[in-house]
Structure 1
Amino acid sequence: MTVQTRGRGSMRGVSLWFVATGSVFVTLGMLGGIAMAVSSDHTLAPAHAHLNLVGWVTMALFGIYYHLVPAAADTRLARVHYTIATAGVLAMVPGIILAALERDELLVAVGSLLTLGSMLIFVFTVFRHRA
């Protein structure tokens, strides 16, 4: 893997998409955490945890990787990866909420499979773009 860094402050493309989307997700996660703390109702803690972990940490790490490995970022697969990763979070977190409220588990299953698919794309990408 050849690691190339771009100039300071020049994150763009799929790298920026991942980090910017993750930043929105963590902000929503923080707001949810504050709401739980204020209400003393932690029923939705699993959704909060997944939004912060998958929505922020994982998305940000993907973005950093793509920033450091521009050859990987400049592929159609990277854009597909972003779409699937984002769709996974957008389905999984509301799905966890529905499951926690004992309403339905289909959406969390779909979101989980999309998230797994996203990670498999990432694993493939990392091995594909090694040195």
Structure 2
Amino acid sequence: MRGISFWFFMTAVVYVTLGMIWGIVMAATGDHRLAAAHAHLNLVGWVTLALFGIYYHLVPQAGEHVLAKLHFAVATAGVVLIVPGIAMALSGAGELLAKVGSVLTLASMLLFAVVVFRSRKTADVPEGRTVEQGLVQSA
């Protein structure tokens, strides 16, 4: 795994590791007030980013476009803002960060939808081959 797929997956691994540590701390202290933020770190940070990484690994042509790099930046910023934002909202410190993180997370998914749509013609084409006029031909 390399390129953008590696960065999505590696970032997801960092998030799940932090999520596991946070879960252990919550269990050890019995303080589960921030469980919703913890859940978002694991679901958006681990699951979603890992799935993005897997897609880019399976469809490497999709990761070669500048849109994939933008997608990574927006997805990462979304997680970095939504998780502490939810923690702040739960603690009564305001909801602005959670709202901004939520919009970025949604924007990340919409960018991913565009990436998937744009790469639909190359997604099933074996490496070393091209798609021309809907037919698979040797390169």
Tell me the TM-score normalized by structure 1.
0.91
In the TM superposition, 1:41-60 aligns within 5 A as 41-60=31-50
Q: Does 1:86 find its partner at 2:76?
A: yes
Q: Which residue of 2 aligns with 1:123?
A: 113
Give secondary structure in 2 for the equivalent of 1:49: helix
Q: Which residue of 1 aligns with 2:23?
A: 33
User: Distance between the aligned counterparts of 1:124 and 1:83, measured in 2?
Assistant: 15
If each structure's strand is expressed as a fraction of its own residues, which one has the higher value? Answer: 2
User: Distance between the aligned counterparts of 1:71 and 1:24, measured in 2?
Assistant: 25
User: Distance between the aligned counterparts of 1:36 and 1:119, measured in 2?
Assistant: 29
If each structure's helix is expressed as a fraction of its own residues, which one has the higher value? Answer: 1
CA offset at residue 53 of structure 1? 0.3
Sequence identity (%): 62
CA offset at residue 130 of structure 1? 0.8
Structure 1 counterpart of 2:76, which letter?
T
User: Distance between the aligned counterparts of 1:118 and 1:72, measured in 2?
Assistant: 15
Q: Which residue of 2 aligns with 1:5?
A: none
Structure 1 counterpart of 2:28, which letter?
V
Q: Does 1:18 find its partner at 2:8?
A: yes
Gaps of 5+ in 2: 122-139
CA offset at residue 39 of structure 1? 0.6
Which of the residues 100, 106, 130 maps onto 1:110? 100
Q: Which residue of 1 aligns with 2:90?
A: 100
**Number of residues of Structure 1 aligned to a counterpart in Structure 2:** 121
Q: Does 1:67 find its partner at 2:40?
A: no
Structure 1 ranges of 4+ moved more than 4 A? none
Tell me the TM-score normalized by structure 2.
0.86
The answer to which structure, 1 or 2, has the higher relative contact order (CA under 8 A, 6+ apart) is 1
